[in-house]
Amino acid sequence: MNEDYRKIQLIMTLRNQGIRDTRILSALERIPRELFVPEPFAEQAYADQSLPIECGQTISQPYVVAFMTQKLELDDRCKVLEVGTGSGYQAAILSLLCRRVYTIERYRTLLRQADARFSKLGLTNITSMVGDGAKGWPQQAPFDRIMVTAAAPTVPPVLAEQLKEDGGIMILPLDTAPQEQELVRITRNGDDFEHESLLPVRFVPLVEGTAREL
């Protein structure tokens, strides 16, 4: 089976599972996921599963990437913050659907690799930094949208503050019990933050501070 065929199969599966936004489906078609996974896993790049990446982290399952992106209700004027760059795959998908993506990763090794992929693909509207994403990116706030791709026990207050007051949307996985998380969508209107729970998920934890190793 060749890669293009596997990719089309995956996109059809996602469509059947409710990803109906054609802009998102074409972004998934345009970004080569095989470039974002370690070489031994390239064969599995178009299976609908998360895969291990360097530094003991994971690249999310394509369905979860598509679902979170769809729930973010992006348009091409949006300025988006992503916390947890990882492989860079989610940031690459976002970059095709909004004006600018700011992405933060605590491992320098991962960020370097992600940056190389962005350059290779000519994705010039992504700005990245090594840091603690729970602190957000104050110089660039407020953000129209925020996506956190690592799980926390509660919504990091600084991120809530950096969300645009009038209709800002944030998606993040929250711990609900040991080994249990759910994806939550928060919509901000002034000081009101509406919470909506969306889907049980499994993400790596949001860890405080910049990684000391690597």
Chain centroid, CA 189 distance in Å:
23
The nearer residue to ligand SAH, 137 or 186, going by C-beta atoms, is: 137
Nearest distance from C-beta of residue 115 to ligand SAH, angstroms: 13
- Backbone φ and ψ for 201, nearest 5 degrees, come out as -140, 175
**Is residue 50 among the annotated active site residues?**
no
| Pick 98 or 194: Cβ nearer ligand SAH | 98
Question: Taking the complex as a whole, how short is the minimal distance between the CB of residue 148 and ligand SAH, in angstroms?
Answer: 8
SS3 state at 195:
strand
Site residues (vs ligand SAH, CB under 6 A): 57-60, 83-84, 86-87, 89-90, 104-107, 110, 132-134, 149-150, 204, 206-207
Question: Three-class SS string for 124-188?
Answer: CCEEEEECCHHHCCHHHCCECEEEECCEECCCCHHHHHCECCEEEEEEEEEEEECCEEEEEEEEE
Contact 151, 86 (CB under 8 A): no
Is 25 or 158 the residue whose CB approaches ligand SAH more closely?
158
Q: What is the number of alpha carbons within 13 Å of residue 204 lying toward its C-beta?
A: 20
CB of 81 vs ligand SAH, minimal distance in Å: 11
Q: How far is the CB of 30 from ligand SAH (least distance, A)?
A: 15
| 116 versus 189: smaller Cβ distance to ligand SAH | 116
The residue at minimum Cβ distance from ligand SAH is 86
| Residues 86/105, Cβ–Cβ less than 8 Å | yes
Q: Which of 26, 50, 60, 119 is catalytic?
A: 60
- Cα separation, 5 vs 85, in Å, equals 28
Residues with a catalytic annotation lie at 60
